[in-house]
Amino acid sequence: MVKMSIGAAFSETFDFLKANWTQMLLWVGGAVVVLALLGYLMLGSTFQMMAMSAGDPSAMMGAMGRIFLFALVAAVVLYAASMLIWRGGLHPGEAPNFGWALQAGPAFAFGMFVVFIAVYIVLMIIMFVLALIFGAAFAGAGGFSPTALQSGALGGGAIALMIVFYAAIIVFFLWLFARLSVAGPVMADRLTRNPVTGITESWRLTGASQWTIVGFYVLIFILSLVYGFIAGLIFGGIMGAAASGGSGVGTIISMIVLALLVYVPQLLLSFAMPIGIYRAIGQRTSGDVFA
């Protein structure tokens, strides 16, 4: 374990993309095709049935059950694809282990879900306690009555407190996400199905670089917004021109190009960042893998 630099994270992330983008497209594209077929078979006319049975609770519950089941299947497929991507990048040349991926992917998703639900419950408890404490203080000071708010004695302080509290929550979740960021790659590297192993090892590995990882994610997010905004302006104008000209084929082609140039790269980047961080906080460099 070493202290990560943002430059190292960028280098490892884009080295992974450069060496594995075709494999990533293969797995992601395969997952999308499988989900499209499963969605057609499992859902079919579910949404139409929901619209037609607006007053029938049993039909509505049945439709919601099918949608929930499809969501579970989609999670299994997508997380299995992510495990195949991470394992293939860390151990190039190894044959895909579909059985392991179909178990490790959902296990990883479930482990992260449990962690974030537990954190959410703790935050709700903290918010409830704060509401009791400050609610009593506000009541003693006149509460949120118009007179108290107009005087500015309470209103400004209450608003400032709310802003600080919600900003602290955002920072906390960024930090937590950073500490758990390499749990999936750890599971892929060790070929384990145990999410506890991935989560605990991620917590250990990211200890020395936790705020650097937060900065890396924030910087990538800002750059992605800028890239998406510029690409949207360029291809949005092209799509608008195609639509005004009455060319349906031109509009479809523009939408496909926009997806390929904006959304697909960002999707692949989201798969590459955890690996980049994992490599940057490890002892080896990208020259050892990603061949």
Tens-place pLDDT, residues 156-188 = 566 777 788 888 889 999 999 999 999 999 999
Pull the structure tokens for residue 166: 């919600």
Q: Is residue 1 domain-resident?
A: no
Q: Is residue 149 domain-resident?
A: yes
Q: What is the pLDDT of residue 195?
A: 95
Helix (H) or strand (E) holding 99: helix 98-140
CA 150, 154, 155, 156 torsion-angle sign: positive
Q: How far apart are CA 242 and CA 254, in angstroms?
A: 8
Pull the structure tokens for residue 222: 């800002």
Residue 210 is part of which domain span? 6-288
Q: Is residue 37 domain-resident?
A: yes
Q: Is residue 130 domain-resident?
A: yes
* Whole-number Cα distances in Å, 183 to 86, 108, 167, 236: 11, 8, 26, 37
Which segment of 67-81, 83-97, 128-142, 198-212 scores lowest on mean pLDDT?
A: 128-142
Please name the amino acid found at residue 250: G
Q: Is residue 276 domain-resident?
A: yes
Q: Is residue 237 domain-resident?
A: yes
**What is the domain count for the chain?**
1
Greater model confidence, 287 or 53? 53
Q: What is the pLDDT of residue 160?
A: 75
Q: Is residue 83 domain-resident?
A: yes
Q: How far apart are CA 164 and CA 167, in angstroms?
A: 5
Reported as a single tens digit per residue, the pLDDT across 184-241 is 999 999 999 999 999 999 999 999 999 999 999 999 999 988 988 887 777 666 555 5
Q: Is residue 250 domain-resident?
A: yes
**Cβ proximity of 189 and 278 under 8 Å:** yes
Q: Which residues contact 205 (CB under 8 A, 6 or more apart)?
A: 1, 182, 186, 278, 281, 282
Q: Is the confidence at residue 107, as pLDDT, over 80?
A: yes
Characterize 23-43 residue by residue with b for buried, 16 or more Cβ atoms within 10 angstroms of its Cβ, and e for exposed: ebebbbeebeebbeeeeeeee
- What is the average pLDDT value for the chain, to the nearest integer? 80
Reported as a single tens digit per residue, the pLDDT across 11-62 is 999 999 999 989 898 998 888 888 888 887 877 766 666 666 666 677 677 7
